[in-house]
Structure 1
């Protein structure tokens, strides 16, 4: 059989296209394995119970729908595997003190378990934000969407000028350390720099917190690059400040912020009676002071997918057909989505009568 011969009646690529994961609604996923990345970080490997292959853009996230202690819980996690490897899907999770979902995953999820996952979601991805000289800035577990991007680019043997500067608490907290070293050694167009807040006797890399002078020292052509940044909010504030001080054009800056340290906001209490009407289900809820649209939906049994519940990820985006809300989001909606009437259920409170497309 020569290279141009195929089996009669079998088109591999057509079959692959037919089996691709394309629906963002919750689907059953099987845990196929666990990988210890660091002392407090694990990667969970999933495949679709239906046998479908995964189709997404590098940098996007998925939402895990779990039941913990009898309560429904949802959390967003960036995909760390690349779309160039469509047979499985990886999420990489850091155990956080007091973290309900991260601790449950570390302590309970095992090979063979089935959970519901929805996605892919998110506009932070290389497909929609292309560039010839990307600079990836990651802090802590913020490396996960950037790793999906790097893996995708190196899988394709991209000739782009790639640069990663990754900040970790200490050398033992560097996620994907051996793989990053291997990629940098293999691809001459990729430069990887890890910066640790605190080093140790064996650490020869840079230490300290990144500021504008350090960034310029590590990336002399900073002004020519398009930045993709992800990490905890404290790290992101430092990056925005450092890049602004270094004179980076804001139009060349894209970010995905993880929760933690963001603080909350005071509930806005309406001075008028507020009611939420759900157009498709026919349900109605009279809101108590401070209740969000998400609270209202849950109390009448209307399902709204959620992720961060801080107004960041955009998972709970819903269409408002009429009425006014007070929304305190942290970037979960684009200006175009806001103009089209979308609101975030987790951080919006009705101001009078509101009609939702649910």
Structure 2
């Protein structure tokens, strides 16, 4: 790790246990410095509170991987156009961030830490601005809900029709906002299909706890509603040059990007065996199993294995999906794609490491919906 990366991690460790307070102070300074910025954020800040701070910290922590850092930040800059962010706003955010951390780090904070964060943030802002300026697309797309189906108590599958073409790659995700129900609240969801001629996009959403957006999309969204979609992001894409067989591992609605990649494979694959492992807590949460079985019956190169972790009467595999994958194999010569909740992805990556699957052959996405 370079000196800059070390100093950033050291200084963040001084305030990490006070993240909520840092976030509160950060927003207070932000809105005091530029009151007009308040209009860019949701009316209820309790949901939003830590999101911008988390995004900035995550961006800083990618400094150790310059290639990923560059690509991620340019995409983040394109995505943030949906907030109507102007170049001068970046300076205000950077100043509020450093002041908030200085406030809660106490006497251990140093001038060197100040400079490290200023340098890192300047790089972040420059990359994000470059990405935003180079994007010729609109800051967001309006799309009409053309289908909405409850597949389980807390899960819905819905399809939208953008008012103008929206280009994306199978496996990517984008931010969704529903102005009628939760204006100015954006949440990230994977597209569950490969690009189609009719330009429709399908989403799989689980209502999580008191999640404002996810609950609205599952329980209140209706056919005819308009949503807004931000620029696609993510690099969990297929490499058509690879000749290795493929393993997809999906937990719950993490199936969405996996299904997108699978749909792309149905258009050209003739030589690669594809193994799909789909896990959930109970059989109701295996909400798209009928469609997966239809695909497996149609394409002989596809096999589907399902598992429930909390349904003793389920006739398929039992246990967490990462445990189930370990019972099959060997997997050392396969490409892997993993998608699901944070804990599910973490457990699966640990299992794959124990199975000696090279990390370079593993792509993954992890989401927590709210």
TM-score, normalised to structure 2, is 0.59
Is 1:215 aligned to 2:329, yes or no? no
How many equivalent pairs are there? 235
Structure 2: runs of 5+ lacking an equivalent: 1-135
Note the alpha carbon deviations across 1:255-277, whole angstroms, 9 max, x for none.
111127xxxxxxxxxxxxxxxxx
| Alpha-carbon distance between aligned partners in 2 of 1:210 and 1:48, rounded to the nearest angstrom | 35
Query: How much does 1:34 deviate?
Result: 0.7
Cα displacement (A) at 1:134: 1.4
In structure 2, distance between residues paired with 1:155 and 1:86: 16
CA distance in 2 between counterparts of 1:145 and 1:112 reads 25
SS at match of 2:346: helix
What corresponds to 1:259 in structure 2? Answer: 368
Take 2:251 and 2:233, find their aligned partners in 1: how far apart are those partners? 21
Offset of residue 39 of structure 1 = 2.7
Equivalent residue number for residue 302 of structure 2: 190
- The residue aligned with 1:232 is 341
In the alignment, the residues of structure 1 paired with residue 176 and residue 150 of structure 2 have an alpha-carbon distance, to the nearest angstrom, of 20
State the distance in 2 between where 1:138 and 1:97 align.
21
C-alpha separation in 2, matches of 1:70 and 1:191:
40
**Corresponding residue SS for 1:73:** coil
Report the 3-state secondary structure (helix = DSSP H, G, I; strand = E; otherwise coil) of the residue aligned with 2:185. Answer: strand
CA RMSD, Structure 1 to Structure 2 (Å): 2.4
Instruction: Flag structure 1 segments of 5+ consecutive residues without an equivalent.
Output: 1-21, 261-307, 309-358
Distance 1:153 1:70, change over 3 A: closer
Change (3 A) 1:80 1:234: same
Distance 1:111 1:133 in 2: 39
Q: CA deviation at 1:160?
A: 1.9
- How far the C-alpha of 1:35 sits from its partner, in A, is 2.1
1:114-133 pair list within 5 angstroms: 114-127=226-239, 130=242, 132-133=244-245
Residue 127 of structure 1 and its aligned partner are, at CA, apart by: 5.0
The correspondence of residues 1-358 of structure 1 with structure 2, limited to 5 A, is 23=137, 25-50=139-164, 52=165, 54-67=166-179, 72-127=184-239, 130=242, 132-156=244-268, 158-201=270-313, 203-211=314-322, 214-218=324-328, 220-259=329-368
- CA shift for structure 1 position 30: 0.8
Q: Normalized per residue, which structure has more helix?
A: 2
Shift of 1:68: 6.9
Cα contact 1:58–1:127 (8 A) shared by 2? no
Of the structure 1 ranges 83-92 and 229-238, higher mean CA displacement relative to structure 2 is found in: 83-92
Deviations 1:271-297 (A, max 9, x none): xxxxxxxxxxxxxxxxxxxxxxxxxxx
Q: CA deviation at 1:36?
A: 2.5
